[in-house]
Chains A and B, each alone.
Chain A
Amino acid sequence: VSGVLGKILRRTKSSLALIRYFLTPDRFFMVPLVVVLLLAGALFAAGTGLSHVAPFVYTLF
């Protein structure tokens, strides 16, 4: 479990670093797109990795 939690923590940190990277005046307009893509990616990852979550993900779309 600690491995999985560690992985989630590292990905969360990297996601925040990615959003920080885009929080500059010349890149700011892309932040909404980045956030939407990250959320979609997280749902995709959850749907792929945990099959019992998949029906809820399908319902969302």
Chain B
Amino acid sequence: LAAVLGISGLYHDAAAALVVDGRVLAAIHEERLDRVKHSSALPVRAARACLELGALDAGALDAIVFYEEPFPKFERLLSWLIKTFPRAPSYFARSIRAELARKLWLLDELAETFGVPREKVRAVEHHRSHAASAFFVSPFEEAAVLTVDGVGERTTTAIWHGQGTRLSPRFSLEFPHSLGLFYAALTAYAGFEVLEGELKLMALAAYGSPKYTSELSRVLRLGADGDFSLEPRYFDAFTDSELGFGPELVRLLGAPRAPDTPWNLAGNPDDRRYADVARSAQLLTEEALLALARRAKREVGGDALCLAGGVALNAAANARLAAESGFSRIFVQPAAGDAGGALGAALLGALELGDPRPPALVSPALGQPLDAGRGADLAARCGFAASQQARPYERAAEILARGGLVALASGRGEWGPRALGHRSLLAPAHDARLRDALNRRVKNREIFRPFAPSALHQNSDRLFDHVGADMTPFMTTVCRARDAALPELSGVVHVDGTSRLHSVTPERAPALAQILAEYERRTGYRALLNTSLNGAREPIAGSETDAIAFFASHRAVDALLLDDVLVERRPS
């Protein structure tokens, strides 16, 4: 039996994961500790936090596994730079400097940082890490696995056959033909930040019509049997910037949207055009993914599909795959993006050392724990009323029942970018005006972005169609709201009639499950609005200090529940 640390980092969404004796003990995003959203650091803080949770010294590790192989990635960079020479001067300078200064020697640096012999540090292939992160914690003994992202070393898309403790490659596509890069370029075109705004583009798509499908079909050409290609001339990404669109795409679609300008979908024809572009990009992406899933079904067979890679966070596409791919069960683990590579790398290292496969992932609470007592002291010092409650969930439900906002920080933080009842901000789901107030006073999101509902698993089927049990616990798909339930879901249904449902069980989110039950008993409503515990452009809260800082800086939030400690504002 072994102790293995998995690491992903130095690009975006850095994270660490610890697997000991075949069990996932911890998985932590660096951003929750260094407070830099989508942190691109080497996740030393997260790794040390994982080791602390596992009560291990780094010296006791049997292996440290990095989620990507440095040399093949360097080779891809060099060959592309030669191919595009001399059109990529700044990309060349930037990427070669980063490789020579650090990335090529990363495995040495990991050995030095953690004080372990260099022989214990190794790297695994990027897409294999993704595939492992999904399949080995899935509930399936055998499944097809589809990994889709921007690019790893060279691979952008891959189909795998997962059986027990093995992953066998079946199909792959290589850079520059990438759904992730396609979606990133359109994200940038619509004025959103790449690696942050992809979900905004997905939300915007619901407001548009697929009027630009024909134009975008020249950019992303769908071939037979899951194959596709990108036309490089539309992408600046391949010459002078890492991710982005080029002048040819502007000629094709019109002027790009200026970042950080207010949206007016009702009155501004240009904004409606961007929504149409978003809808067209989303549609083409879904068609490409569907073709890949159907190929996976043909290549591997079976009823189960696992998805991973950044594109697997596209919940609307996942819902179409669930409905149309032919697979009856689809699993997407909550950290499907690059952070998840740390988990996959750790699992691959552990399996190679002879450990068994871990049990299926039940709870996403793999992050850092809270110290509610310390939080109570800090809250009192900040001038808040902090009291330990015998029935904390009843008090939280009471505040919600009278239309209040409750911040919930409970147990260990979530693994993945979604708030799943451990670092959540809760509000009544039935009132669209409350949703708008929450957005205006706390979240400051673009007005077209929806909020998600949480509902007890036993109520989910009564509120939504086609809920399923594999993706809704981790908010990685969308479900259509039932007509009869619409009055109690006014604040959490998107313009297309769907919601990114979080179905809650006591094993997965014990505090939220109790609050939902008590809220239903008091009001008859079966869902709550659940958004992440963070302000605009901040990472989700990690520690009790982060939660109190959030509460202190957002006066619209009525109370903060830190495990069993209720923090409220004193009457002024």
Identity of the chain B residue whose Cβ is nearest the Cβ of A34 in the assembled complex = B78
Tell me if B111 is interfacial: C-beta within 8 Å of chain A: yes
Which residues of A does B touch, CB under 8 Å?
7, 10-11, 14, 17-18, 21-22, 27, 30, 33-34, 37-38, 40-41, 44-45
On whether the beta carbons of A11 and B108 are closer than 8 Å, the reply is yes
- Which B residues are CB-close (under 8 A) to A37? 96, 100
- Knowing A30-B79, A37-B100, the reply to whether A18 touches B74 (Cβ < 8 A) is yes
> How many angstroms between the C-alpha atoms of A1 and B105 in the bound complex?
20
Q: List 30 A-B contacts (CB under 8 A).
A: A7-B108, A7-B112, A10-B105, A10-B112, A10-B118, A11-B105, A11-B108, A14-B104, A14-B105, A14-B107, A14-B108, A18-B71, A18-B74, A18-B104, A21-B75, A22-B75, A27-B75, A30-B75, A30-B78, A30-B82, A33-B78, A33-B82, A34-B78, A37-B100, A38-B100, A41-B100, A41-B101, A44-B100, A44-B101, A45-B101
- Which A residues are CB-close (under 8 A) to B100? 37-38, 40-41, 44
Which residues of B does A touch, CB under 8 Å?
71, 74-75, 78-79, 82, 96, 100-101, 104-105, 107-108, 111-112, 118
Q: What 3 A-B pairs come out closest when comparing CB atoms?
A: A41-B100, A10-B108, A21-B71
Contacts between chains A and B (CB distance < 8 A), count: 37
> How many angstroms between the C-alpha atoms of A61 and B276 in the bound complex?
53
Identity of the chain B residue whose Cβ is nearest the Cβ of A38 in the assembled complex = B100
Q: In the complex, what's the smallest C-beta–C-beta distance from A40 to chain B, in angstroms?
A: 8
- Which A residues are CB-close (under 8 A) to B82? 30, 33
- Knowing A37-B100, A41-B100, the reply to whether A10 touches B78 (Cβ < 8 A) is no
- Which B residues are CB-close (under 8 A) to A33? 78, 82
Q: In the complex, what's the smallest C-beta–C-beta distance from A14 to chain B, in angstroms?
A: 6
> How many angstroms between the C-alpha atoms of A18 and B572 in the bound complex?
66
> How many angstroms between the C-alpha atoms of A41 and B97 in the bound complex?
8
Q: In the complex, what's the smallest C-beta–C-beta distance from B69 to chain A, in angstroms?
A: 10
- Which A residues are CB-close (under 8 A) to B78? 30, 33-34
> How many angstroms between the C-alpha atoms of A28 and B104 in the bound complex?
19
Identity of the chain A residue whose Cβ is nearest the Cβ of B118 in the assembled complex = A10
> How many angstroms between the C-alpha atoms of A34 and B78 in the bound complex?
9
Given contact pairs A10-B108, A14-B105, A27-B75, a sample of 17 additional A-B residue pairs in the complex whose CB atoms are under 8 Å apart? A7-B108, A10-B105, A10-B111, A10-B118, A11-B105, A11-B108, A14-B107, A17-B71, A18-B104, A21-B71, A22-B75, A33-B82, A37-B96, A37-B100, A40-B100, A44-B101, A45-B101
- Which A residues are CB-close (under 8 A) to B108? 7, 10-11, 14
- Which B residues are CB-close (under 8 A) to A10? 105, 108, 111-112, 118
Interface centre among B105, B107, B111, B118 (most CB of A within 10 A): B105
> How many angstroms between the C-alpha atoms of A27 and B71 in the bound complex?
12
- Which A residues are CB-close (under 8 A) to B79? 30
- Which B residues are CB-close (under 8 A) to A41? 100-101
- Which B residues are CB-close (under 8 A) to A40? 100
Q: In the complex, what's the smallest C-beta–C-beta distance from A42 to chain B, in angstroms?
A: 9
Q: In the complex, what's the smallest C-beta–C-beta distance from A44 to chain B, in angstroms?
A: 7
Identity of the chain A residue whose Cβ is nearest the Cβ of B72 in the assembled complex = A21
> How many angstroms between the C-alpha atoms of A21 and B73 in the bound complex?
12
> How many angstroms between the C-alpha atoms of A29 and B447 in the bound complex?
53
Q: In the complex, what's the smallest C-beta–C-beta distance from A30 to chain B, in angstroms?
A: 6
Q: In the complex, what's the smallest C-beta–C-beta distance from A1 to chain B, in angstroms?
A: 15
Q: In the complex, what's the smallest C-beta–C-beta distance from B220 to chain A, in angstroms?
A: 28
- Which B residues are CB-close (under 8 A) to A27? 75
Q: In the complex, what's the smallest C-beta–C-beta distance from B455 to chain A, in angstroms?
A: 52
Identity of the chain B residue whose Cβ is nearest the Cβ of A48 in the assembled complex = B101
- Which A residues are CB-close (under 8 A) to B105? 10-11, 14
- Which A residues are CB-close (under 8 A) to B112? 7, 10
> How many angstroms between the C-alpha atoms of A47 and B457 in the bound complex?
61
> How many angstroms between the C-alpha atoms of A51 and B123 in the bound complex?
34
> How many angstroms between the C-alpha atoms of A34 and B100 in the bound complex?
10
Q: In the complex, what's the smallest C-beta–C-beta distance from B261 to chain A, in angstroms?
A: 41
> How many angstroms between the C-alpha atoms of A41 and B93 in the bound complex?
12
- Which B residues are CB-close (under 8 A) to A38? 100
- Which B residues are CB-close (under 8 A) to A21? 71, 75
Q: In the complex, what's the smallest C-beta–C-beta distance from B74 to chain A, in angstroms?
A: 7
- Which B residues are CB-close (under 8 A) to A45? 101
> How many angstroms between the C-alpha atoms of A59 and B79 in the bound complex?
31
Identity of the chain A residue whose Cβ is nearest the Cβ of B69 in the assembled complex = A21
Q: In the complex, what's the smallest C-beta–C-beta distance from B489 to chain A, in angstroms?
A: 55
- Which A residues are CB-close (under 8 A) to B111? 10
> How many angstroms between the C-alpha atoms of A34 and B82 in the bound complex?
12
> How many angstroms between the C-alpha atoms of A36 and B452 in the bound complex?
53
Identity of the chain A residue whose Cβ is nearest the Cβ of B71 in the assembled complex = A21
- Which A residues are CB-close (under 8 A) to B101? 41, 44-45
Q: In the complex, what's the smallest C-beta–C-beta distance from A5 to chain B, in angstroms?
A: 13
> How many angstroms between the C-alpha atoms of A54 and B79 in the bound complex?
31
> How many angstroms between the C-alpha atoms of A10 and B104 in the bound complex?
12
> How many angstroms between the C-alpha atoms of A33 and B104 in the bound complex?
15
> How many angstroms between the C-alpha atoms of A17 and B101 in the bound complex?
17
Identity of the chain B residue whose Cβ is nearest the Cβ of A21 in the assembled complex = B71
Q: In the complex, what's the smallest C-beta–C-beta distance from B162 to chain A, in angstroms?
A: 28
- Which B residues are CB-close (under 8 A) to A30? 75, 78-79, 82
Interface centre among B82, B96, B100 (most CB of A within 10 A): B100
> How many angstroms between the C-alpha atoms of A37 and B107 in the bound complex?
19
> How many angstroms between the C-alpha atoms of A41 and B249 in the bound complex?
36
Q: In the complex, what's the smallest C-beta–C-beta distance from B557 to chain A, in angstroms?
A: 47
Identity of the chain B residue whose Cβ is nearest the Cβ of A42 in the assembled complex = B100
> How many angstroms between the C-alpha atoms of A31 and B452 in the bound complex?
52
> How many angstroms between the C-alpha atoms of A17 and B105 in the bound complex?
11
Q: In the complex, what's the smallest C-beta–C-beta distance from A48 to chain B, in angstroms?
A: 9
- Which B residues are CB-close (under 8 A) to A17? 71
Q: In the complex, what's the smallest C-beta–C-beta distance from B98 to chain A, in angstroms?
A: 11
Q: In the complex, what's the smallest C-beta–C-beta distance from A39 to chain B, in angstroms?
A: 10
